[in-house]
Amino acid sequence: MAETSSNRRIVVLNGPNLNLLGQREPDVYGEASYADLEKAVAEYAAAKGFAADVRQSNHEGELVDWLHEAEGAAVGVILNAGALTHTSIALADAVRAVSVPVIEVHLSNIFAREEFRRRSYLSEVAKGVISGFGIQGYKMAIDAIALE
Ligand code: DQA
């Protein structure tokens, strides 16, 4: 199969605990599983003419490595860093270190929850933030990349 050119490739990175989607606090994050998320995002991207490379890791360093790898290899990155959003200067610095645009996405509205979730180290370095629309938020981020 031909390699997807970097200008049609979107890297979608999901951080800690997102593998438990559907089982984990479904009242907050919804009933769809991580596999459902992967499928919905890949299908939506394909319909828009992109190939989505959807990944998940519970490890901060792996997410940093993937951000580095996206440089020059993707047209945009969609990043739901989970709780690392609120703690990780390393991830924020990785976003600063690359020129590929990074869109921060959250399933829940992080501004309508606990106080500690209102602080995102990523928002100040992200191209933009989409928060509170569940899996649809990833599709909105794909639309944002497509409109660029
Ligand atoms: C989340 C919000 C974070 O505060 C939380 O730690 C998550 C998921 C979201 O998608 O709503 O793990 O990023």
Atom of ligand 1 nearest to the CA of 16: 12
Instruction: Write the residue with the smallest CA distance to atom 8 of ligand 1.
Output: 82
- Mean pLDDT, the chain, whole residue set: 96
Residue 23: per-residue pLDDT: 95
Q: Give 118's contacts (C-beta < 8 A, 6+ positions apart).
A: 110, 111
Tell me how far the alpha carbon of residue 11 lies from the centroid of ligand 1, in angstroms.
18
Atom of ligand 1 nearest to the CA of 108: 11
Residue type (1 letter), 80: N
Active site residue 59: no
Q: For residue 44, how many other CB atoms are within 10 A of its CB?
A: 19
- Candidate of 37, 85, 115, 123 to mutate for ligand 1, largest count of ligand atoms within 8 Å of Cβ: 85
CATH code for residues 15-138? 3.40.50.9100
Atom of ligand 1 nearest to the CA of 83: 6
Domain range summary for the chain, segments of one domain joined by +: 15-138
Tens of pLDDT along 102-125? Answer: 999 999 999 999 999 999 999 999
Residue 1: per-residue pLDDT: 44
Active site residue 44: no
Which residues of the chain are modeled with pLDDT < 50?
A: 1
Say if residues 112 and 82 touch (Cβ distance below 8 Å).
Answer: no
d(CA 139, CA 64): 23
